[in-house]
Amino acid sequence: MASSTFDPQPYCIPGEITVHEVLDMKRAFDMIDEDNSGVIDAEELQGAAVALGIPMEDNISVLLGTDKINFDEFFKRMTAKLSPNDKVDDIMGIFELFDNDATGTISFENMQNVARIIGAKESPKEIQEMLSTLDTDGDNELDPIDFYTCLVNGMRVRMEEEDRLQRQQADSMREHMETMARSSQSNRNMSAMSMGK
């Protein structure tokens, strides 16, 4: 599928994923899809990783398995969020993607590699600040427990924010309906008063 005929709108999520970000993901997908087949496989992804200087040998199978994936599936995987149904093994699979040098920890260099892959806009200083904030033992690396805690807390915070927004929208709608009901009642009272004159 050529980018010139690609419609990013169905992939946009208001407040989360913009047209620009969808187009960036589509460009990345098209660059990886060397044979222009509309699907990418482990071999193409490995080639892209090598071209970017990112060691991902064992992690390719974690990311793709043996499947070929189309852009829809690529988009889903790139934008997936953790849910309460995700298991520790799922989270550790994500950890292994970050730990692309298989040291058992996520270093500053690992985070920079991931940032480069996904086109993150954070500066090295901001990446270091994130790492320092999430690192609980002061070794300047994230171990699996740091990573798990970070993701689970992030999921909890996201879910609490979604709940808060839903409550806020419900409260706003309730207030709007009450205002409309009062206005309607006031108009009926005014009408009744003017008929009584």
Condensed to tens digits (0 to 9), the pLDDT of residues 90-138 reads 777 778 878 888 888 999 998 888 888 777 788 999 989 888 888 878 8
The structure tokens listed for 147 are 């990573």
Q: Please name the residue that has the structure tokens 């590699």.
A: 113
pLDDT of residue 2: 44
Q: What is the pLDDT of residue 180?
A: 83
Please, are residues 62 and 51 in contact by the beta-carbon 8 Å criterion?
A: no
Beta bridge partners of 69: 40
Pick from 117, 13, 29, 118: nearest CA to 72 = 29
pTM to 2 decimals? Answer: 0.44
- Which residue numbers in the chain have pLDDT < 50? 1-3
